Structure 1
Amino acid sequence: MITRRTALTGLATLLLPIPAHGAPSEEFKIVSGGDSLSVSRYAAAGSERRPAVIALHGAHGVEIKPRAYERYADALTARGIDTYFLSYMAPADMVALTSTSHETREAYETKRFEGWADTVAATVTDVLGRPDSSGRIGLLGFSLGSYIAAEAAARDRRIAALAVLYGGMPHAMATKIKHLPPLIVLHGEADKNIPIEEGRQLVALGKLAGADAEFVPYPGRAHGFDFSDTDPMTRDAIDRVTKFFQARLAT
């Protein structure tokens, strides 16, 4: 639970300047399901082997607010963790998710979760095969991307840590879970897009599977609260996620 002291601390840190990261250090493609999909890599400094986090954007893509996503890359690379933003949507996905009703989109997503998780697995294989990889990798998901990250983490034991922002586990996958890595879920209590119970249920699934799992509710915060440029809880969320990965991905 976010306390008054936490909020005041967050307000103080928000007043500090947030440095601009600039362009990613590398752009490359992942081929999955016949589609060639873009990955942007933000590399941490140094020549030693490093852990990595693959980040999965929400349904509107990174382009809708790139700086909000880049703040996570800034924080993670500053702690020595390479960050990869996977643009997992194929052209057909973008059409389906922007031109249909809510019910139709949900049905489409349900059919696509397995394919999207396969794309994540292909990206994991690429990242772990790099000479600068320490062999430790985490997934970071936002909204729709968090459901994909959760399914991918449940299916792939190479994933060492999972962080979810305002999301959960695809319902079809929830009854099949035998494994989840350590995870943290952050969710606004005023979220009207994705019920907060989705996040709580993911944490419960993690605990049932024997994983360390933490749930962090944010009172009064709506969906995507951490994309705000002025809310002190933006810094709080980024710090929590970064510290979680630093602790779980250290070799």
Structure 2
Amino acid sequence: MRLFQIMIAVLAMSQPAAGANAQSRQQFTVPTTSGGVLVESFGNCANATCPAVVILSGSKGFAAPVYDEIGQTIQAAGLNAYLVHVLAAADLDAIATANGARARITYYAQRLPDWISAVQGVAAYLEAQPRHGGKVGLLGISLGAQIASAAAAERSGIDALVLVDGGFPNDHSPPVHSLPPLLLIWGSADRTFPVSIGRELQRMAQRLGRPTTLDVYEGGAHDFFLRSGTRNAGAAHQSAADFLASHLSR
């Protein structure tokens, strides 16, 4: 019995503490016209110049450990990854307790202008930091993709855009005349935003003359990008990092 207790203690000591990855993130606040925005980073990449990548979460925020994997994959590609909390705690609570999809969509429409402004403010701040070489990319997932697409349209300060299972907000009315180079990542089995939406986004961007790629992952559901340890998620994370590095490190 004593030996068994010692073995359990040793095993427990060898396991990382819960939230250890999140604790390794470095936090700071960026002032914007929409208020202060919490940003988490993973430190600087190994290169002298590390372009910045703004990561925008889905409607559940950055609690999932997979965001650490995404950040580390991007950093390994020679970029600096930043988790940008445009969804404040009050937003996450309101979304989680909304009475159905219609109520969530109404809330999104009310808050989108502030979220878009916050992203643009953080992007401008990062672009001005010398270590980033004036280069900033956006990676948005689901709701974050809607915010990222609207924030990047017509903006010269965004040099590359990755949208995962999401595109422009439903009520995005201004016509789009310009976009940065675009990578669309989609699950073929996405029922929230069917892949037909990704194909239409691809056609729209190509009509604008922008380099555009649509990667469709067979069998991927709406949240496949956030399913830690799966083949599709790992391949999609690497594809996003490679695309961003190719357009930001020139």
TM-score, normalising length from structure 2?
A: 0.85
Moved more, 158-167 or 31-40: 31-40
- Counterpart residue type for residue 68 of structure 2: E
RMSD: 2.0
Secondary structure at 1:197's aligned position in 2?
helix
How much has 1:24 moved relative to structure 2?
4.3
- In 2, Cα distance between the equivalents of 1:174 and 1:217? 27
- In 2, Cα distance between the equivalents of 1:32 and 1:91? 17
For residues 41-70 of structure 1, give each alpha carbon's deviation from its aligned partner in whole angstroms, at most 9, with x where no partner exists.
12333462221100000000011x1x2111
> What is the 5 A alignment of 1:148-163?
148-163=147-162
Q: Is the 8 A contact 2:187 2:224 kept in 1?
A: yes
- In 1, Cα distance between the equivalents of 2:75 and 2:46? 10
**For the structure 1 residues 152 and 116, does the alpha-carbon distance in structure 2 shift closer, same or farther, using more than 3 Å as the test?**
same
Q: Is the 8 A contact 1:35 1:90 kept in 2?
A: no
**For the structure 1 residues 103 and 196, does the alpha-carbon distance in structure 2 shift closer, same or farther, using more than 3 Å as the test?**
same
Instruction: Give the equivalent residue in structure 2 for 1:204.
Output: 203
Moved more, 189-198 or 25-34: 25-34
- In 1, Cα distance between the equivalents of 2:42 and 2:178? 29
For residues 66-85 of structure 1, give each alpha carbon's deviation from its aligned partner in whole angstroms, at most 9, with x where no partner exists.
x2111111111112100110
Larger relative contact order (Cα-Cα within 8 Å, sequence gap ≥ 6):
1
- In 1, Cα distance between the equivalents of 2:26 and 2:199? 36
How much has 1:34 moved relative to structure 2?
4.9
How much has 1:183 moved relative to structure 2?
0.6
Instruction: Give the equivalent residue in structure 2 for 1:48.
Output: 48
Q: Is the 8 A contact 1:30 1:39 kept in 2?
A: yes
Instruction: Give the equivalent residue in structure 2 for 1:8.
Output: none
Secondary structure at 1:83's aligned position in 2?
strand
- In 2, Cα distance between the equivalents of 1:27 and 1:212? 34
Instruction: Give the equivalent residue in structure 2 for 1:104.
Output: 103
How much has 1:92 moved relative to structure 2?
4.0
Instruction: Give the equivalent residue in structure 1 for 2:232.
Output: 233
Instruction: Give the equivalent residue in structure 2 for 1:90.
Output: 88
How much has 1:33 moved relative to structure 2?
4.8
> What is the 5 A alignment of 1:4-19?
none
How much has 1:32 moved relative to structure 2?
3.6
For residues 125-174 of structure 1, give each alpha carbon's deviation from its aligned partner in whole angstroms, at most 9, with x where no partner exists.
21112231211110001110011011111042110000111111113336
For residues 177-217 of structure 1, give each alpha carbon's deviation from its aligned partner in whole angstroms, at most 9, with x where no partner exists.
01100011111111122222222222222112221111111
Instruction: Give the equivalent residue in structure 2 for 1:13.
Output: none
Instruction: Give the equivalent residue in structure 2 for 1:129.
Output: 128
Q: Is the 8 A contact 1:113 1:151 kept in 2?
A: no
Segments of 5+ residues of structure 2 without an aligned counterpart are: 1-19
Secondary structure at 2:245's aligned position in 1?
helix
> What is the 5 A alignment of 1:143-222?
143-173=142-172, 175-222=174-221
**For the structure 1 residues 111 and 176, does the alpha-carbon distance in structure 2 shift closer, same or farther, using more than 3 Å as the test?**
farther
**For the structure 1 residues 175 and 118, does the alpha-carbon distance in structure 2 shift closer, same or farther, using more than 3 Å as the test?**
closer
Secondary structure at 2:190's aligned position in 1?
coil
- Counterpart residue type for residue 44 of structure 2: A
Secondary structure at 1:31's aligned position in 2?
strand
- Counterpart residue type for residue 207 of structure 1: Q
| Identity score, percent | 27
**Higher radius of gyration, 1 or 2:** 2
**For the structure 1 residues 110 and 200, does the alpha-carbon distance in structure 2 shift closer, same or farther, using more than 3 Å as the test?**
farther
